[in-house]
Structure formats: structure tokens, C-alpha cells
Amino acid sequence: GAVVSQHPSWVICKSGTSVKIECRSLDFQATTMFWYRQFPKQSLMLMATSNEGSKATYEQGVEKDKFLINHASLTLSTLTVTSAHPEDSSFYICSARGVGPGTGGTDTQYFGPGTRLTVL
């Protein structure tokens, strides 16, 4: 089946630094990738939608200059948390939707394992 990886799986950084999280579709072409954020004991909330080769669409309340998204290829999207602060500490999960063997069509999204970000 379709597999999505994320790197790193966890990261601890100092306040004010920037952190880049990668999301890769390993065996299919991801025409669309989604970035979600999940705070403890809460559900996933969509941050932005990323289509290959175009600018990301951000959800209301998500600062595009703080959360930079680059979807440069059909298999890679990156989320950069710039000038991170403790309130940015969260679990960031990407998902991908695309075409290729085993993708099950565009109704199905495949999720990465998530990245735990802790900002000190």
C-alpha cells in the first residue's frame, strides 16, 4: 500500500529557532499534501493544503509567514516552523493524496507517522 514518511519523528529546539519537517510519499505521486496539527488529547486540525507546484492554502488563523510550506515535487512537501515558540509545541502530521498503484483513488489519504515538536 501507499506509504508516507515524515522526518524527523521528534525534535526539540530552543525558542526562536526554525525547524523543518519533511513529508514524503514513498511509492506514489502525491498531487496534494495536507499538514495537520494535533495538540494533546485533541483532534487533528488542518493547517494548510499543499498542491505540487503552487502556493499552499492556509486555514484561517494559521500564519503563512510562520509556517512555511514548500511542495516542490510530487513526492516531497516540507513544513518549516520559523522562530518557534513554546506554544508551537505540538504533534505535526502530514497526509498525502495522489495517484499510483495501491493509492485507492483520491478519496483516500495516507498519513505520515507524525513529528513531535517540543520548543523549550
Partner 1 sequence: SQQGEEDPQALSIQEGENATMNCSYKTSINNLQWYRQNSGRGLVHLILIRSNEREKHSGRLRVTLDTSKKSSSLLITASRAADTASYFCSVGGSQGNLIFGKGTKLSVKP
- Which residues contribute to the site for partner 1 (CB under 8 A)? 6, 32, 34, 42-44, 46, 49, 57, 91, 93, 95, 97, 106-114, 116
| Closest to partner 1 by CB, 16 or 45 | 45
C-alpha cell at 86: 513554546
| Residue 2: how many other CB atoms lie within 10 Å | 20
- CA distance readout (Å), 93 to 39, 44, 76, 101, 105: 11, 8, 14, 23, 21
| Closest to partner 1 by CB, 83 or 106 | 106
| Closest to partner 1 by CB, 68 or 111 | 111
Report in angstroms how near the CB of residue 41 gets to partner 1 at its nearest.
Answer: 8
Report in angstroms how near the CB of residue 7 gets to partner 1 at its nearest.
Answer: 13
Length, in residues, of the chain: 120
| Closest to partner 1 by CB, 71 or 97 | 97
Report in angstroms how near the CB of residue 83 gets to partner 1 at its nearest.
Answer: 26
